[in-house]
Structure 1
Amino acid sequence: MYSERLTYQLLEASDLNELHELNLIPEVDEFNTMGIPDSIQVTKDLLDAKIKDHQQENISKLTYSIRLKNGNDFIGICGILFGQPKYKKAELWMKFNPKFWNQGYATEAITRLLKSCFKEHQLHRVEAGCAVENHASKRVLEKCGFIVEGIQRKNLPLKTGWSDNYEFGLLVEEWNK
């Protein structure tokens, strides 16, 4: 899968070191509920679980590595969590290396995932969320057409304590192809 400046590939075992480095960055961890891994083994276990998800008969989770087309630099990961088939919906998420923040890559990646959800997977609805203090992610989601539908109070267990979480939604008929 690709977009204008980026390529997306399902996570593989060869992504371990780059994924581990991404997970060790304190700025990346600020709004992430996973926390900083204690060892590369923790990251390997996480990666192995994500790879196993891709091998299931009924895939419910897809996790992609994101790389620059020019230079092949690893810049982050993103994913789709599919809901029950009857509801025709999914949730999107992303995590980027701060060296690549504020360059439009997150907007480009979410836009590409939306295309996958609505065109390739024929979904009716896509959801996303972010901590209310995560202003950059909120802006990205709004640029991509998501609408804030509510706030879940003290929903995210961050290292700084419980955080409120914006809940976003986007329907296929609202999506700007």
Structure 2
Amino acid sequence: MNHITNRLFLEEISWDDLPLVHVLHSIPELDEYNTLGIPKDLEETKKVIQPAIDDQQKNPRSQFCWKIELKSSGQVIGLAGMFPSNDRFRLGEIYYKIHPDFWGNGYATEVAKALVRFGFDELKLHKVEAGVATENIRSVRVLEKIGMTREGLRRKILPIRGAWKDNYHYAILEDDPRDY
């Protein structure tokens, strides 16, 4: 399931994307608020993306992972994904990571809106959620910009580089107002 926005093309990852995903996962700025940690080698990255690639053959899907490409050049600038709950709660959790060279251009907001639309329009979710480290001000701004509400604080839940970090829980409901 691929998606197109005004400036971006989101295409599900394949094994051909392993080196590219490895590079993205190895960028220190992208790891700052990420619980994965920087992979030590391609084999570790392979284990991280294996479930997303395997899931492409399942129905219903329990996870999606897309590479984010600039429509203008085809350059891959990040990754995004969703984990639908596939149960009566009809929830989906989203994530995104944009290469630091492309921060400040509104790409994360554009991707997050596309993920919310996908969740509501295609997966028929009731609620789309996102977790964000409390210190990740850029991502907090993105989630608030797309109309998500901060629903709570999960204290010391994120294991990041040997320390426990707090996490804000954000969400938007299918009937919440949004202009996209």
Normalising TM by the smaller chain, what interval? over 0.9
Contact 2:77 2:102 in 1 (8 A): yes
Match of 2:114 in 1: 112
Q: What residue ranges of structure 1 are gaps of 5+ in the alignment?
A: none
Greater helix proportion = 1
Q: What residue identity is the alignment partner of 1:145? A: G
Match of 2:63 in 1: 61
Q: What residue identity is the alignment partner of 1:134? A: N
Inter-CA distance 27–167: structure 2 relative to 1 (3 Å threshold):
same
Q: What residue identity is the alignment partner of 1:174? A: D
Q: Structure 2: how far apart are the matches of 1:133 and 1:166?
A: 9
RMSD, matched Cα = 1.0
Q: Structure 1: how far apart are the matches of 2:171 and 2:123?
A: 17
Confirm or deny that 1:151 pairs with 2:153.
yes
1:1-177 to structure 2, matched below 5 A, reads 1-159=3-161, 161-176=163-178, 177=180
Give secondary structure in 2 for the equivalent of 1:111: helix
Inter-CA distance 112–128: structure 2 relative to 1 (3 Å threshold):
same
Deviations 1:56-95 (A, max 9, x none): 2321101111100011011111111011321111111111
TM-score with structure 2 length normalisation?
Answer: 0.95
State the percentage of identical aligned residues. Answer: 38
Q: Structure 2: how far apart are the matches of 1:121 and 1:151?
A: 27
Give secondary structure in 1 for the equivalent of 2:88: helix
Q: What residue ranges of structure 2 are gaps of 5+ in the alignment?
A: none
Q: CA deviation at 1:150?
A: 0.6
Q: CA deviation at 1:160?
A: 5.2
Query: What stretches of structure 1 move > 6 A for 4+ residues in a row?
Result: none
Q: Structure 2: how far apart are the matches of 1:88 and 1:48?
A: 24
